[in-house]
Amino acid sequence: MNVLEFSGVVFAVSATAGCLGSLTGLGGGVIITPVLTLLLGVDLHFAMGATLVSVIATSSGAAAAYVREGFSNVRVGMFLEIATTAGALTGAHLVSAVPVSALAIIFGTVLLYSAWQSMKAPPRDKEPRPDPLAARLKLNGVYPGRQGMIAYGVSRVKTGFGLMFGAGLLSGLLGIGSGAMKVIAMDQVMRVPFKVSTTTSNFMIGVTAAASAGVYLRRGYINAGLAMPVMLGVLCGSLAGARMLMGARVLVLRRLFALVIGALAVEMIYSSLTGGFR
């Protein structure tokens, strides 16, 4: 494939990834990494650099639309960001010490776990216990629903904070925004409404990814020729996805989320077990 054709293919894949990424809060990395490595035979390090770029592009592209609409919770994002950036920094420094195939198996396992978790909506029948810490930190907020603004509380702040460190660690290790873990921590553990979880995740993944960018640049993971169509494609896709999210039903978004990460988990684990990774 010549450079022009390759760029076209990567652009199309990235646009799809950006759209799904901004709808689900996953950042598009879960699609771009495997497509580049498994289908296009790109070295995993280059793929990780391209994915990092895609994560920041999804985050900033989608957030430009969400923030104005009042979906994402800046305080929740900023508070949890302490944990994620610290985790990301740790992960990025460990990355050269971790073998590629093990990395892929970790990635697959995490995805599989995420898919299984998000298939089931958290039980909303029992009123979640409001966390007094959430009130002290002013984390509780409102978001736009069909009939005006809906107020919500935030639960289990400390557990969520701990999970976010893990999410950041994965982000640094794999070059993904680890949006899956972030959405799950906010949705299932902290009981933040799903749309607020995905949009706040979108905000956070960009900041977390930016924290890894320096390390990636020094190691040469970010390749200009590869990152160019990824960045432009993802931006187009994420803007389209952000528009779709506003009116989308939560159940549909939840299923889409589970479907995307479930399929990729199987794909990743299969290929790492059959020696698809060099």
Partner 1 sequence: MTDQKLEQIVGNLLRTGVTAAAAVVLAGGAWYVTTAGAGIADYRRFRPETAGLHSVFALPGPQMVILLGLLLLIITPVARVAFALVAFALERDWAYVGITLAVLAVLLYSIGVG
Using CA atoms, how far apart are residues 136 and 161, in angstroms rounded to an integer? 15
CB within 8 Å of 15: residues ≥ 6 apart: 233, 234, 236, 237, 240
Q: Which of 17, 23, 88, 196 binds partner 1 (CB under 8 A)?
A: 88
**What letter would DSSP give residue 48?**
H
Q: Give kind and range of the element (H or E) at residue 148.
A: strand 148-152
Q: How far is the CB of 34 from partner 1 (least distance, A)?
A: 15
Region near partner 1 per CB under 8 A, out of 102-110, 116-124, 219-227, 241-249 = 219-227
Interaction residues for partner 1, span 48-67 (CB under 8 A): 53, 56-57, 59-61, 63-65, 67
Q: Which of 116, 119, 135, 225 binds partner 1 (CB under 8 A)?
A: 225
List the beta bridge partners of residue 148: 145
Outline where DSSP puts E strands in 100-147. 141-145
| Closest-CA residue to 74 (of 200, 170, 210, 166) | 200
Tell me: does residue 218 bind partner 1 (CB under 8 A).
Answer: yes
Q: Which of 12, 39, 82, 102 binds partner 1 (CB under 8 A)?
A: 82
Contact positions vs partner 1 (CB under 8 A): 1-7, 36, 40-43, 45-46, 53, 56-57, 59-61, 63-65, 67-68, 70, 74-75, 78-79, 81-82, 85-86, 88-89, 92, 137-138, 203, 206-207, 209-215, 217-229, 231-232, 235
